[in-house]
Amino acid sequence: CFCVIMVGIQQSGSGTNTTHFVSQLQWYYARLFPLQSIHNWLSYSQPDSTLFSHREVSFTLSGDIYLRFRSFRNASELHTALKDRAPIKIDFGAIYNIPPVSRSTSHSPLVALEKELVFDIDMTDYIDVMGDLNEGNEMERTDKNWEYMAAAVTILDEALRGDFGFESILWVYSGRRGIHCWVADYRARVLSNESRSAIAEFLAIKFEADSASSKRNTFTVTHPLHPSLSRAKSQVCEQVFNEFVLLKQNILQGEERERKFLQWIQDPVLREKIESALLRSQSKSASVELRSDEKWHVIVKELKANGQLALIDYLILKYTYPRLDIAVSKDIGHLLKSPFCVHPKTGRVCVPFRARDAYEFRPKLNAPELSALIDELNSRLSAKECAQFNEKLDSLSLSELKYPSNELLEKYPGTCQFMQSIAVFQEFLLDLRHENSQLQIQRQDEIAAHEFIKNIN
Average pLDDT over residues 229-249: 98
List, for residues 194-216, the tens digit of each pLDDT value: 999 999 999 998 776 544 444 44
Q: Inform me whether the pLDDT recorded for 9 exceeds 90.
A: no
Average pLDDT over residues 289-299: 96
Nearest to 141 by CA among 60, 251, 249: 249
Indicate which residue of 56, 116, 147, 258 is catalytic: 56
Domain extents for the chain?
Answer: 17-201+324-431, 220-319
183 three-state secondary structure: strand
**pTM of this structure:** 0.88
Q: Which band of pLDDT confidence, cut at 50, 70 and 90, is reported for residue 147?
A: very high
Q: What is the DSSP letter of 355?
A: G
- Lowest average pLDDT, out of 2-16, 117-131, 178-192, goes to 2-16
Report domain 17-201+324-431's class.
alpha beta
Q: Residue 388: what pLDDT?
A: 59
Q: Inform me whether the pLDDT recorded for 291 exceeds 50.
A: yes
Nearest to 350 by CA among 90, 140, 82: 90
Average pLDDT over residues 258-267: 94
> Does the annotation mark 56 as catalytic?
yes
Indicate which residue of 120, 157, 258, 369 is catalytic: 120
List, for residues 359-406, the tens digit of each pLDDT value: 999 999 999 999 999 888 776 665 566 555 555 655 666 676 666 777
DSSP string, 432-452: HHHHHHHHHHHHHHHHHHHHH
Burial of 58 (0-12, 13-18, 19+ CB in 10 A): buried
Indicate which residue of 64, 77, 91, 122 is catalytic: 122
> Does the annotation mark 120 as catalytic?
yes
298 vs 295: CA distance, rounded Å: 5
More confident residue, 399 or 12: 399
95 vs 225: CA distance, rounded Å: 38
Which residues does 452 contact at the CB level (< 8 Å), separation at least 6? none
Q: Is the dihedral of CA 126, 128, 129, 131 positive or negative?
A: positive
Tell me the three-class secondary structure of the chain, residue by residue: CCCCCCCCCCCCCCCCCHHHHHHHHHHHHHHCCCHHHHHHHHHCCCCCCCCCCCEEEEEEECCCEEEEEECCCCHHHHHHHHHHHCCCEEEEEEEECCCHHHCCCCCCCCCEEECCEEEEEEHHHHHHHCCCCCCCCHHHHHHHCHHHHHHHHHHHHHHHHHCCCCCCEEEEECCCCEEEEEECCHHHHCCCHHHHHHHHHHHCCCCCCCHHHCCCCCCCCCCCCCHHHHHHHHHHHHHHHHHHHHCCCCCCCCHHHHHHHHCCCCCHHHHHHHHHHHHHHHHHCCCCCCCHHHHHHHHHHHHHHCCCHHHHHHHHHHCCCCCECHHHHHCCCCCEECCCCECCCCCEECCEECHHHCCCCCHHHHCCEHHHHHHHHHHHCCHHHHHHHHHHHHHCCHHHHHCCCHHHHHHCHHHHHHHHHHHHHHHHHHHHHHHHHHHHHHHHHHHHHHHHHHHHC
